[in-house]
């Protein structure tokens, strides 16, 4: 019963965050995006490392997330598997952890490894993540759960961002447990 109540609280909280997220963007209603430079599972990661024809798919989450994060990562994996070799070369999936306290580079390496060799895990200091989240319109907050072995969870918004090497957000894909929205966005951007 406590688990069901906890799950209900998480769902309601995420719903509230989603609504809140819609009002946290720039004046024109869009997040600004911009540079991403963080320590990662593949050394220092920067969007500027992308080639001109590549896109990063950025997702802000954390490895201890019980539902939205593994589902979004699985959707990214499914979409990546459906791309041909050339398209797959042009897409770089990146999980940016908003839980730097627990998500070390070692932990991120293990986690993203479950989804594929192409996946990158990145994180930074609390200050770096707050600045980055503000530019991308990402809302997140720590929620203490003293009755749980995890001690806390992190409520966070769950959009995916298709971003070029300049940090320009080409498309923002709302959370979905199905791959159709991400697949469609990537096909538009990749010209497929």
Instruction: Please give the annotated binding residues for Cu cation, written as ranges.
Output: 65, 69, 156
Residue 157 CB partners (closer than 8 Å, separation 6+): 17, 18, 20, 21, 60, 137, 138, 139, 140
Report the alpha-carbon distance of residue 9 to residue 162 in Å, rounded: 30
- Return d(Cα 40, Cα 47) in angstroms, integer: 12
Q: Which residues are annotated as a binding site?
A: 65, 69, 156
Backbone angles phi, psi at 185, to 5 degrees: -60, -45
Torsional sign, CA 55, 63, 16, 131:
negative
């Amino acid at each position: 019963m406590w688990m069901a109540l906890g799950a209900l609280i998480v769902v309601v909280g995420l719903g509230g965050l989603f609504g809140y997220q819609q009002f946290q963007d720039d004046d024109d209603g869009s997040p600004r995006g911009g540079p991403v430079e963080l320590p990662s599972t593949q050394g220092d990661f920067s969007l500027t490392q992308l080639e001109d024809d590549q896109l990063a798919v950025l997702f802000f989450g954390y490895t201890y997330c019980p539902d939205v994060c593994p589902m979004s990562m699985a959707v990214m994996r499914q979409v990546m598997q459906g791309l041909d070799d050339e398209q797959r070369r042009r897409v770089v999936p990146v999980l940016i952890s908003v839980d730097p306290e627990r998500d070390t580079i070692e932990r991120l390496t293990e986690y993203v490894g479950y989804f594929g060799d192409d996946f990158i895990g990145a994180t930074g200091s609390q200050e770096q993540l707050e600045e980055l989240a503000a530019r991308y319109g990402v809302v997140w907050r720590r929620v203490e759960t003293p009755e749980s072995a995890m001690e806390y969870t992190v409520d966070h918004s769950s959009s995916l961002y298709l971003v070029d090497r300049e940090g320009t957000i080409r498309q923002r894909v709302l959370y979905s447990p199905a791959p159709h929205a991400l697949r469609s966005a990537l096909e538009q951007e990749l010209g497929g």
